[in-house]
Chains A and B, each alone.
Chain A
Amino acid sequence: MSFYLPIGPIHPALKEPLNFIFKVEGELVIDAEPNIGFAHRGIEKLMENKTWMQNAFLAEHICGICSADHQGCYTQGAEIIYEKKPPERGLFIRTLVWELERIHSHLLWIGVAMHEAGFDTFFMYAWRDREVVLDLFEALCGRRVVYSMSTIGGVRRDLPSQFAEKIKKFVPYIKKRMKVYEDLALRDQTILARFQNVGILKKSDAIDLGAVGPTARGSGVKRDVRYEESYGAYEGSPYRIVVEDAGDSLAKLLVRIKEIVVSADILEYLVDNMPSGPINLNLPPMAKPPVNEAFSRVEAPRGELVYYLKSDGNLKPYRVKVRTPTLANITSVVAMVKGMYIADIPVVYASIDPCIGCMDRVLIIDTKKRKQKIMTKEELIHFSNKWFKKHLNELKEERA
C-alpha cells in the first residue's frame, strides 16, 4: 500500500516553510517532490528601489545565519561595479567575520541535525559552544546575529582592543571541542545508526545535480569558492579543502566538524597577519557608479553564494540577482531520500542545511484558478520576450 505523506509547509521537522510530498510504502520512501515558494519576500525587486549603499544592509537581511556572507558578496560585487579596491585591512576584517560566521553556522547545524536525530543533549552542547562565537560577534560588531560590518569599499568598524587575544583564546577552545565532537560522531552507536549510510549522495549525482558546499564536499566533490578563486584575504591563509568520500549524512557531519577546525586556523592566521592601515575607502554614499555589471561569488557556510549585479549608471541598481546555496542543494534531497525510511527524512533533509528564507525567489500563483504554476525555461524566455515587447515604449519613456 503506497500513500502520499505531505510534510510541510508547517511541520516540526521543518524549521522553515517548505512543502515535500513523499510517496511512501509503509515506512519506505519511494519518491519525493519538493514545492518551494512559501517564503518569497521580494527582496530582489526591493533592491532596485534602494541606493547601492543602502542595499548592503538589505542584502544581509536575506539570511539571518549567513548574513555576513550575503553582505560581503553584495559589497564585493558592488566594488567591481564601482571599480574600487578595498584596503587590505578591510578585507582581512571582512574575512574574519566570514570565518567566525562559518563556525557559528556549522555549530548551529550540528545542533539542529542532532535534534532531528533525537539527540537533544548534543544539540544543547553544540548551541552552548555557539554562544561563545556569538559573544565574540558581540564584541566585534556590537550585534550577535546580523552584523552590518561590510560596506562598499571595506568594513565599517575596526577591531576592538584586546580582540586578537580573545581569538587566540577561542581557537584552542573550539579545536578541543571539535575533537570531542568528532569522537562522539565516530564512536556513539546511536549517532552512527542514524547517520551512517543514510541519505547517500553519489559523487556523480552530486555533480549532475549541481550540489554545492558541504553537501558536495561530503560526496567527494572538490567544490569550494575559497579554493577556486582567492577572494577576500584567503590568499596565503592556511586554507585546505575538506572532502569526505562516503556521501552519507555522517560524511556531511564530519565535513562540517573539520571545516570548523580549518576556520579556526584561518582565524588565527588573520589576527596574526592583520595589516595596519585604513579599514575602508570612505566612499560618499551618493556616489554614482559607472555603467557596469558584476558577478560575485563567495563560499557561504552552506555553499556557493552568487550575486549578479547590473548598473545602468544610476544611484540604484538596475538588477540584482541572488542565487543561494539551498536552491542548488534542494534537488539533491530528492536523490538522497529515495529508498530511505520516513524516520530518515528529517536527518536527510537537514543534512543539506536548508535555509528556505534566503532561497525562495518567486512563486507564480493564478489567483483566479487557485493554482500554482511552475514555468520551464522555454516558457519563461517566451514570457519575458512577450512582456518586453509589450512594455518597450513605456520603458523607453521611463529611461528618457
Chain B
Amino acid sequence: MEYLLYSIIFSVSAILVAFFLEWFDRKVYARIQHRVGPKITGPHGVLQPIADFIKLLTKEDCLVKGSDTLLLDMGPVLSVAFVLFSLFFIPFGYSEGLLSIPGDLIIIIVLSSFVAVMILLTGYAQKSAYANVGAARWAELFISFEIPFVISLASITVASRSITISEIISWQAHNLPLIVIAPIALVTFIFSSLAKLEKTPFDIPEAETEIAAGWMVELSGRKLAFFRLTKDLEYLLLSALGAVIFLGGPIGPSLPGLELIFGIIWMAIKTIIFALVFSILRGLVARYRIDQAIHLFWHKVIPLTFFQLIIIVMLGLFGFI
C-alpha cells in the first residue's frame, strides 16, 4: 500500500518534471534561434507543455480505416508505462532509486528498447505510406544507436565493476566521477541518446519536411499526447541517466542532516546540464539522411565505443582503477 502511494506520487512528479524539461528544451532552442519561445501560459510560458498536453487530450481521436486499432491503443499507454517504470530505478535524491535491485541498469536498457519496439509497431500499425517509411527508418536507426548506447554503458559497468546503479554511484563517491575515466563513452552516449530522443541531427524517423511526421503521422488526440509524453519522459530519463552514470548523480558536497535536499539539488543541476547539452546540440546541426546516420554510427561511433571499452579494460588490468 505504501509502495503504491509512493509510486503514484513519484509518477506524477516525474511527469511534471518531464514537462518542465520540455519547456526548458523549447526555451533554449528558441534562444539559440533568436526567438523567445513559449511565453504566455504561466510565468515565462512554463505551463505551455501541460497546456499542449491537455489540449491534445480533448482532441478527437480519429484513425484511417484499415489501421490496427489494438496495437495503436496499446502503444502509447505501454510506452509511457515502460519509461515511467524505468524512471523508478533512477535515484533522484538518495543514492538509491524508488526501486533498486541488483542489475537494474540492464532493466533500464531493456525497458528503453521496449519503447523503441512500441514506436516501431505503431508506425507499422497505421495505414499510411509516411508512417511505414517512418517506421522503417526508425528500425534502421534503432539497430544503429542501440548498440553504441549499450556498449558505452558497458564500459561504465566495467570501470565501476557493477551493473547496479546505486553501486555505480557509491563507486563514484569513493573514486572519481566516471566522466573523467570514460570521456569517450560520454560522447557516444550523447550521440546515441540524441538518436533515441529523435532530436536533430537524428530526427529522421519523424522528419517533418520529408515524410510529414513519419511514424506518428496518423496519430491524433490522446495517442499523440501520450507519445509526446513518452518523448518528454525519455528526455528526462536519458538526461538523468547521464547525470547518474557520468557525473555521480545526487552525490556532492552537502551539510549534515540535509543530505536529501542537497542530493535533489545536485541531481537537478546535473540533469539540467545534460538536458542543456542535448538542446544546444540539436540547435546547431542539420538533419542527416538515414544512410548517413547509419554510416556515422557503424563507422565512427561503434568503433569509438569499443575503443573506450578496451581502454577501460586495460586500465583495470594494470590496476589504475
Bitwise interface map of A from 49 to 91 toward B, beta carbon under 8 Å scored 1, else 0: 0000000000000000000000000000000000000000000
Helix, strand, loop or mixed for chain A's interface? helix
Q: Which of B32, B208, B288 contacts A190 (CB 8 A)?
A: B288
Q: Contact at A343–B290, with CB atoms within 8 Å?
A: yes
Binding stretch for chain A, among B40-48, B178-186, B197-205: B197-205
Q: Which of B137, B204, B289 contacts A193 (CB 8 A)?
A: B289
B33 to chain A, nearest CB (A): 4
Q: Contact at B34–A118, with CB atoms within 8 Å?
A: no
Q: How far is the CA of A194 from the CA of B200 in the complex (A)?
A: 13
Q: How far is the CA of A124 from the CA of B289 in the complex (A)?
A: 21
> A27 and B284 in contact (CB under 8 A), knowing A12-B208, A118-B201?
no
Q: Which of B35, B203, B212, B291 contacts A11 (CB 8 A)?
A: B212
Q: How far is the CA of A125 from the CA of B33 in the complex (A)?
A: 7
Is B221's CB within 8 Å of the partner chain A? no
Q: Contact at A118–B291, with CB atoms within 8 Å?
A: no
Q: Which of A13, A119, A124, A346 contacts B34 (CB 8 A)?
A: A124
Q: How far is the CA of A345 from the CA of B210 in the complex (A)?
A: 7
Residues of A within 8 A of B210 (CB): 13, 342-343, 345-346
Closest to B287 in A: A118
Closest to B130 in A: A5
Is B283's CB within 8 Å of the partner chain A? yes
Q: Which of B270-310 contact A (CB under 8 A)?
A: 283-292
Q: Contact at A12–B129, with CB atoms within 8 Å?
A: no
Bitwise interface map of B from 17 to 28 toward A, beta carbon under 8 Å scored 1, else 0: 000000000000
Is A163's CB within 8 Å of the partner chain B? no
Interface size class of B (residues with CB under 8 A): 20 to 34
Closest to A3 in B: B129
With most chain A CB atoms within 10 A of its CB, the pick from B285, B288, B292 is B285
Is B209's CB within 8 Å of the partner chain A? yes
Is A273's CB within 8 Å of the partner chain B? no
> A121 and B283 in contact (CB under 8 A), knowing A128-B34, A190-B288, A344-B289?
yes
Closest to A6 in B: B129
Q: Which of A79-133 contact B (CB under 8 A)?
A: 114-122, 124-125, 128
Q: Contact at B207–A343, with CB atoms within 8 Å?
A: yes
Closest to A26 in B: B136
B69 to chain A, nearest CB (A): 24
Is B133's CB within 8 Å of the partner chain A? yes
Residues of B within 8 A of A12 (CB): 208-209, 212
Q: Contact at A27–B290, with CB atoms within 8 Å?
A: yes
Residues of A within 8 A of B292 (CB): 193
Q: Which of B133, B200, B203 contacts A342 (CB 8 A)?
A: B133
Q: How far is the CA of A94 from the CA of B283 in the complex (A)?
A: 39
Q: How far is the CA of A9 from the CA of B285 in the complex (A)?
A: 29
Is B211's CB within 8 Å of the partner chain A? yes
Q: Contact at B290–A341, with CB atoms within 8 Å?
A: yes
Q: Which of A10-45 contact B (CB under 8 A)?
A: 11-13, 26-27
Residues of A within 8 A of B288 (CB): 190, 193-194
B200 to chain A, nearest CB (A): 6
Is A378's CB within 8 Å of the partner chain B? no
Q: How far is the CA of A343 from the CA of B133 in the complex (A)?
A: 11
Q: Contact at B209–A121, with CB atoms within 8 Å?
A: no
Residues of B within 8 A of A26 (CB): 136
Residues of A within 8 A of B201 (CB): 118, 190
Is A191's CB within 8 Å of the partner chain B? yes
Q: How far is the CA of A166 from the CA of B290 in the complex (A)?
A: 46
Q: How far is the CA of A191 from the CA of B208 in the complex (A)?
A: 17
Q: Contact at B209–A115, with CB atoms within 8 Å?
A: yes
Q: How far is the CA of A116 from the CA of B209 in the complex (A)?
A: 6
A117 to chain B, nearest CB (A): 5
> A118 and B211 in contact (CB under 8 A), knowing A341-B289, A342-B133?
no
Residues of A within 8 A of B200 (CB): 118-120
28 interchain pairs, CB-CB under 8 A? A5-B129, A11-B212, A12-B209, A13-B209, A13-B210, A27-B133, A27-B136, A27-B137, A27-B290, A115-B209, A116-B209, A118-B201, A118-B209, A118-B287, A119-B200, A120-B200, A121-B32, A121-B283, A125-B33, A128-B34, A188-B285, A188-B286, A190-B286, A193-B286, A193-B288, A341-B289, A342-B211, A343-B204
Smallest CB-CB A-B distances: 7 pairs: A118-B287, A119-B286, A124-B33, A190-B286, A343-B289, A190-B285, A117-B286
